[in-house]
Structures are given as structure tokens and as C-alpha cells.
Chains A and B, each alone.
Chain A
Amino acid sequence: MLKRMFLLVAASCLGLAAPAAAEDKPVLDVYTYDGFAAEWGPGPLLRAGFEKTCACTVKFTTAEDAISTLRKVQLEGPATRADVVLGLDTATAPEARATGLFVPHAVPVNGLVMAWDDPDFVPFDYGYFAFVYDTTKLPNPPKSFEDLIAMPDSFRIVIEDPRSSTPGLGLVNWIAAAYGDRAAEIWTGLKPHIVSMPRGWSEAYGLFLKGEADMVLSYTTSPAYHAVAENNPNYAYAEFTEGFFPQIEVAGILASTDQLDLARAFLTYLMSPEAQAIIPTTNWMYPVRDIGPALPAAFGSPPTKIIALDDEADFAAKAKARVDAALAAVQ
């Protein structure tokens, strides 16, 4: 009996490894981060939506997070199977561009909520890094980084490690963009409030939900999840007077693609009203197109005071030094 069960289990395991049924349809290989493609993410719905129109098969290949997809493409080089890389953001796109592995998308981009003239990447959603809190426990949240620093030491925040997490890196960039040379001073001020700097967003958010911190570094869209999916309106993000630092998630086409037309069609589809209506409640980010009532009211309107960068490429190139300086300041 046991033996038979074991054989059954073993066989099913091998089945997982067996090649997928051969199909004549062209395959569009999309590299993206695990959370995008897997259960709960927008991937399955987007794939179904695009496959209805393209007479093709969309195949997601995942890595742990967005930057890892870029690393994977870099490791594979021109031999990569990937046609599209999806999920890079404003912080990593300049580096991706510099690898020379991407081609201009040549897709018309118009009608979006933001002005967009990047020749290599198209945006598909965006959000802002923000500190999220529970309004029932924290009626008067800090209104700026300086406010936060002035809170008593018992006021605790949890932020992600900038070396291993996208929001963690986002905070480093946010503070640098807002305070320039004073960034180190802000970090030193934050130090007593930082209860933990875990590896990723999941751990940080988990700590926050367990009550270990008064605020967690997340996104302005996080409260929408609780309001829509859990019917819990008690979460909010702290409005910081310095303004917010955006994270725009983008997709690009690899120069080595053998499905250029399909890739372009996919990018166009990503920005279409249909795809944009899927993204908010699956990826929990703002759509890049006005989708009207399809956007749940809980998302509210995105913050208006945004920190703009003079030279994005230059800013991105100095990320490493900023991370080191921030870590040194809280050491």
C-alpha cells in the first residue's frame, strides 16, 4: 500500500517535469517575478486575456523578484529564451537599459495617466512607497520624515533591507531624492525607531500585521487591499509632506527575441483598458490608464505631491553608494 502510494507520488513528480504538450502556436516567453505570475497575481488573468486575441501561448518564467529576472537574463545573455521582461521598475530600468540586452519597443504609448517617452520600456502599473499604519491604533501618524524622527523612541517602524528588497531600496531612494545631502542625517534619526530590517516585504508586512511596529514601509496602495479584499477600512498610508517617490513597473523587449511582433502586441495589451482593469486588484498597484469605475473606490486618488528627479539615469547609477551610506548611518 505504502509502496503504491509512493510510486503514485513519484510518478506525479516526474509528470511535473515532463515537457508540456507540444503545440504549433508561437510561444511568447515572459520573464517576470514570481508574485506576478503565480496564484493571486495578475499573471494568470493577463495570460488568458492575451491568449484570446494572439493565437499564441504565453509562458511565464519566474524568478524570486523583479531584479532577479534581470539577473537571470544577464546570466543567460543573448541565448536567453525570454522575449519580454516584465516587472522592472524605475530604479532598475536604467541598469537594464545599460546591459544593451533590450531593444526599443516601438509601441505607441498614449492615453496614460503619466507622460511617457521611454523608448525601451513601457509602464504597466505604478505606486508610491509609503508608510502604512492602522488608523485605529495610530490616530495621529507622523506627517513627514522629520515628524517621524521626532516621535518618542517607543514609536516603531519596520523597513526592508535595501540590499534584498525593492521597497527597501525604494526608501533609500525616496529619502535621497527628498533630502539630498541631508539623507544620512535622516537615516541616523530613523535608527532608534527601526525595530527590524527584514529581508523582504513579506516579512516586514507580517511583522507589522502582528503588531510589532506602528508603521511599515509599503505602498500607498496597501490600504486598498485591506479595504477591498478584507473589507477592513482601518489601514491608511501616512501623508508625508516631502512628497512621494514613485515606483513605476515597466516591461521591455529583449533584442534576442524571435517573437518581436508578439512581444509588441503583448506590451500594447498590457496597457489596454482590459489588462489595466485586472491589475489593481491582483497586483495591488495603480493602473497606468484611467479605468473609471473599474478601479475600486478604496484606491482613492494617488498622492499628488511627487518627487521628481532631474536625471534618472544618474540617480540610478549612484544607488549602490546611497545604500552603503544609508546602512552606515543606521549601523
Chain B
Amino acid sequence: MLRLPPFNNSTIPPHPRRQIAGAGLALIVTLGLVGALLAILAAGGVGTAPHGGAILALVGLTTLQAGLSTLVSIAVGMALAWALNRLRFFGRGVVIALLSAAIVTPGIVVAFGLISVWGRAGFIADALTALTGTRPDFSIFGLGGIIFAHTILDGAFAARVLLARLDALPPARLKLGQSLGLRAVERFLVLDWPALRGALPGLAAVIFLLAFTSFPIVLMLGGGPANQTIEVAIYAAVRLDFDLGRAVLLALVQIGFCALIVSVSALLRPASLPTAPSQPSRWRDSRPARLGAVLVLLGLGFALLSPLVAVLVEGIPALPVLLTRPTLAPALLASLAIASLSSLLAVALGLIAALARASATRPLVRLLLGAPLLGYLAVPAMVLALGAFLLVRNAGLDPERAAPFVLILANALLVLPFALATLGPPLDMLAQSRGRLLRSLRLSGTVQFFAVELPLIRADLALVLALGFCFSLGDLGIIALFGTDQFATLPLMMMRALGAYRSADAAALAALMLLISGTVFTVLPRLIAKVPDARA
């Protein structure tokens, strides 16, 4: 009967096997990254050290950009989530689906969409010209443009995640709040903020990493070399100088810096929140508050969605021609196959990680279980591509044949941080708010998962599945060196069209990807909600 120490009497149910699985995953991802870096070093030897001051300046510049992008994205996401939670209107589902689709849209598509609306010859400038007779002089290029584009990508995602938290507020709490006559501001502070707070650290870390490593958007909208990122220095080290040692060094600087940021956010424990079904309940707001919500929705909705709508408007007329291209079907099929497989893999890995982290009690263990998975986001794309290529070659595989599988794995790893950020908070909250009950019921890990946890996170799983699918659909991936002329995906085909003057085809492909993403985000959650719960 005697148990050997360490004797676990935490109020969070310990599940050693979950933690072992999570630790294994974190270890494999870490080893993969280390292996990739070592493979590059082995291929290129020790390089010339980059100029310290220049790197510091780059890091500073990138941090400023990424920090502002994160702040604005979170603020915009909270405002939009608030407005969408309060308002019910026709087309709400479509708006939410489009918001979700934003983050998975290739950056270059978003940038072009942004320019269609806000550019010198864009929709807004044209409209103002028609109204005032003179062409307005504003520019979307510069730091503002970069942050704007990142907010479209990441702010919309934040809104989607935070909306799920608000919609999950227990109806009883809302009733109580309503009966107390909470005003809009009070309701936000008393009911909404505690629910949102838990999701913020994970969300902010992911957004920061995305913005920190963003490359094509920064170069395209930065308006010249004043706005730079450390990624472009790494790109130059490999491509222009073939100085692999320096590329690895720069990558280490970036990874180290991002690790610092992630660690800080991971140490913040999510606040606990009673769990409830995701059935949004109604809340009767005062008239000014409702008006405010409408204004927020219209303003931010327009800002975030109009570039995406522009992509559709420009691309859809060219779709019929695109559909006649014989290369479309194989590319579409390959994209769908890769997206399906990598999203399933992402969900599986995300569950392993989130379950392990929810059963960890020490902050350090939580950090070690979670941070390596985010590490993947911090690795420069060029280094990842190089490392994957070398690892595959060193393993004696043919890169060209391995390309689809590498793409599936890479995409799954790319989605993993989002999976963790989405699945983690509800599981954490369950473990913390119902820990005594769970332990006292003596549930096995399997029963706990299928009978308690799965019903709780079904909607989140659907979101991650959709996210993983669409991310993989739109990701150019890390197979730049793998030799891919026999193999095309939709984004690859789009880049080829752009590179061959075929802007109409490229626009049609961008629209097609956006349409597929939007559809998946609309349909998949409904599909999963309809799967009968055998245990209910």
C-alpha cells in the first residue's frame, strides 16, 4: 500500500504516461532542430562571425516590429471577439470563417490584398480621388504597412481564438451578471477579461514568433531596407555568401531570442475558468454598448476582411480559365492530400503536447514541454529548408521523393504551436478547476480523455483541424531545395504563375485557396459538432 516518494498530492491530476509522451515529443522536436543545425554546420564548416552591432540593430528592429504587431493583433483580436460575442447577425458564421481563414493565407497574398485596398492605386485611394478630385497622398509602405498586414493575419486569428473563450462563458455566470445589472465595461472586466486572460500568453507568444520571423511581408511592405529582419540576413548568408556557419550563428541568435520571449510567456499560468459548452448565450447590452460593438465590428471587420475580399474579387473572374489548366488537378489533389495528412498529424501531436502540459504541475516542466514545440516557429525558414534537405540526404533518401512527406511533417510542426495555444487553455483550466474531482474519481488517462476532456475540446479540435488543413494548403513549405518540378501544390503553382508574368492565374489560385480555407473553416466545425457523442 505504501507509495514511494515523490508522492504526488497535487490538485492537478498527474498522468505520468501523458507527461512521458509529451516529453518524448518535445525531445524529438528539439533533437530534430539540433540535428538540422548540426547538419548545416557539418556541410559548411564554421563561418565568419557576423558583425555584432549590426545583428543587435537587426534584432532590435525586428523586436520592435514583432512587439507592435503582437500588441496590435491582440488588441484588435480582443475588440473583434468582444463585438462578435455580443452581436448576432446574418452572415456571422461567414465572418468568423473568413477571420479564421486569414491566418492561413500566404503572406504574399495578404500583402497584395492589402495593396489592392490601401495602395496608391487601391480601392480607397480611387474612392477618395473620385470624391475629392485629388489623389490622396498616403502610403501603405513602412512599419505601419507591415503591422497592418500582420494584424490581418494574426489579429484575425486572435479574434477567432478569443471569441471561442467568450462563447464558452457559462450561461449561469452571464445570468448572474445580467441580474446584477453589470454595465458593458463592468461585464468586460468581471466576466470577459478573466476568460480571455488565460489564452493571452500562448496567443501572444505565437503571434510574436510569426511576426518576428515574417520575411516576404516585411520586405514587400517595408518600403526599402530601413525595415529589415534577421531572416533576410540569414537568407543572404546562405544564398549570396554561402556562409553556412554564419547562417547557423544568426539562426541561433534568433532562436535564442525567441526562446527567451516564449519562456516568459510560458511561465505565466493561465487563469482558471469554469468550463462550459460552447453555446454562445445572449447578453442584453445597453444601447451605446451595442452601438460600440457594431462600430468595432464594421471598422475592424472592414480593415481585416477587405484585403481578403479584394483577393476574391480579383481572383474569381480568372477562375474559369484556371480550371481548364491541366496542371491544376494534380496540384489541387496534392495540396488536399498533404493538408489532410498534416492536419491530422498536427492534431495528434497537439493533443499529446496539450495533455502532457495540462498534467504538469511545475512551471519549469510546463515550459520544457511546451517551448520546444514553439521553437519550430523561431527557426528561420531558410535554415529549416537547408537542414531538412541535408537531413533527408544524410539519411540516404531521395529528396525529391521525400518532399511530400517532409512537407506533411513540416506543416504539422508548423501548426503545432497553434494547436497547443488552442487546445492547451481549456485542458489546463479543466485540470485546475476540477482537479480534486478528477483525482477523487480515480479516472484512468484513457477514460479521462474520452469521457471528460474530448467532449470539452471538440470544438477546439475542429478549429485546429481546420487550421492545420488550411495552413498546409497555403504553405510554401521548406522544400525549396527538394526539387519539385514533378510535384506542385497550389501555393507553389501560384508562385510559379507569379514568376512567369501570369498574374491572372496567380490571382485565381490565391482566390481558390482562400475559398477552400473559408469553406473548410465553415464546414469542418459543423461536421464535427454533428458527430454524435457516444457518451452523452
| Residues of A bordering B, CB below 8 Å | 6, 9-10, 12-13, 16-19, 31, 34-35, 37-41, 43, 60-64, 67-68, 71-72, 74-76, 154, 156, 161, 163-164, 169, 191, 194-203, 205-207, 209-212, 222, 225-226, 229, 284, 319-320, 323, 327, 330-331
Contacts and interface: CB of A to CB of B under 8 A. Distances in A.
Given A197-B222, A199-B220, A210 B119 contact: yes
Nearest to A37: B485
B283 interface: no
A163 B232 contact: yes
23 contacts: A16-B404, A16-B486, A35-B499, A38-B488, A39-B500, A40-B497, A40-B502, A61-B400, A61-B485, A62-B483, A72-B389, A75-B43, A161-B219, A164-B235, A195-B120, A195-B224, A196-B221, A198-B219, A203-B220, A209-B503, A319-B240, A320-B240, A323-B236
Contacts of B341: 10, 13
Given A39-B488, A196-B221, 15 more contacts: A13-B337, A43-B485, A71-B242, A71-B481, A76-B393, A164-B219, A199-B215, A203-B111, A203-B498, A209-B503, A210-B115, A211-B120, A212-B115, A212-B120, A226-B501
B441 interface: no
Interface in B364-413: 386, 389-390, 393, 400-405
A206 B219 contact: no
Contacts of B515: none
Contacts of B451: none
A302 B225 CA distance: 32
A75 B499 CA distance: 25
Contact of A63 (B235, B401, B403, B481): B481
Contacts of A16: 334, 404, 486-487
A13 B137 CA distance: 49
Interface in B168-226: 215-216, 219-226
B258 interface: no
Indicate the member of A156, A212, A331 with the most B CB atoms within 10 Å: A212
Interface in B100-123: 108, 111-112, 115-116, 119-122
Contact of A331 (B225, B404, B496, B501): B225
Nearest to B503: A209
Contact of A164 (B239, B336, B485, B488): B239
Indicate the member of B216, B389, B485 with the most A CB atoms within 10 Å: B485
B135 to A, nearest CB: 10
Given A161-B232, A327-B225, A207 B115 contact: yes
A2 to B, nearest CB: 8
B97 to A, nearest CB: 19
B165 to A, nearest CB: 29
B495 interface: yes
How would you classify the secondary structure of chain B's contact residues: helix, strand, loop or mixed?
A: helix
Contacts of A225: 501
B254 interface: no
B232 A202 contact: no
B121 A212 contact: yes
How would you classify the secondary structure of chain A's contact residues: helix, strand, loop or mixed?
A: helix
Given A34-B485, A198-B219, A323 B121 contact: no
Nearest to A199: B219
Contacts of B226: 331
B40 to A, nearest CB: 9
B241 interface: yes
Contacts of A206: 112, 498, 503, 506
Given A202-B498, A203-B216, A209-B503, A68 B481 contact: yes
Contact of A10 (B337, B486, B488): B337
A210 B225 contact: no
A222 B496 CA distance: 16
A17 B219 contact: no
Contacts of A330: 224-225
B493 A17 contact: no
* Pairs A-B, 10 closest by C-beta atoms: A211-B121, A13-B337, A163-B236, A61-B483, A202-B498, A198-B220, A37-B485, A40-B500, A9-B337, A64-B480
B239 A67 contact: yes
Contacts of A205: 498, 501, 503
Interface residues of B, number: 69
A40 B501 CA distance: 10
A12 B341 CA distance: 12
A116 to B, nearest CB: 26
B157 interface: no
Nearest to B327: A39
Contact of A17 (B115, B393, B404, B481): B404
A34 B496 contact: yes
Given A38-B496, A194-B224, A164 B327 contact: no
B484 interface: yes
Given A60-B485, A161-B219, A202-B499, A74 B242 contact: yes
Contacts of B484: 34, 62
Nearest to A39: B327
A327 B54 CA distance: 13
A150 to B, nearest CB: 19
A213 B215 CA distance: 21
A6 B403 CA distance: 20
Interface string B324-337: 01010000011011
B465 interface: no
Interface string B475-517: 0000011011111100001011111111100100000000000
B333 A202 contact: no
Nearest to B504: A230
A209 B112 CA distance: 11
Contact of B336 (A9, A161, A195): A9
Given A10-B340, A196-B223, A17 B401 contact: yes
Contacts of B79: none
A164 B236 contact: yes
B66 interface: no
B511 to A, nearest CB: 15
A203 to B, nearest CB: 5
A35 B121 CA distance: 29
A34 B480 CA distance: 9
B521 interface: no
B114 to A, nearest CB: 11
B223 A195 contact: yes
Contacts of B485: 34, 37-38, 43, 60-62
A326 B503 CA distance: 30
Nearest to B398: A19
B148 interface: no
B141 interface: yes
B338 interface: yes
B460 to A, nearest CB: 20
B203 to A, nearest CB: 27
A31 B224 CA distance: 32
A165 to B, nearest CB: 9
B238 interface: yes
Given A16-B334, A320-B240, A323-B240, A196 B220 contact: yes
A72 B232 CA distance: 19
Interface in B319-356: 325, 327, 333-334, 336-338, 340-341
A132 B139 CA distance: 22
Contact of B224 (A6, A76, A197, A323): A197
A203 B405 CA distance: 28
A194 B481 contact: no
A46 to B, nearest CB: 12
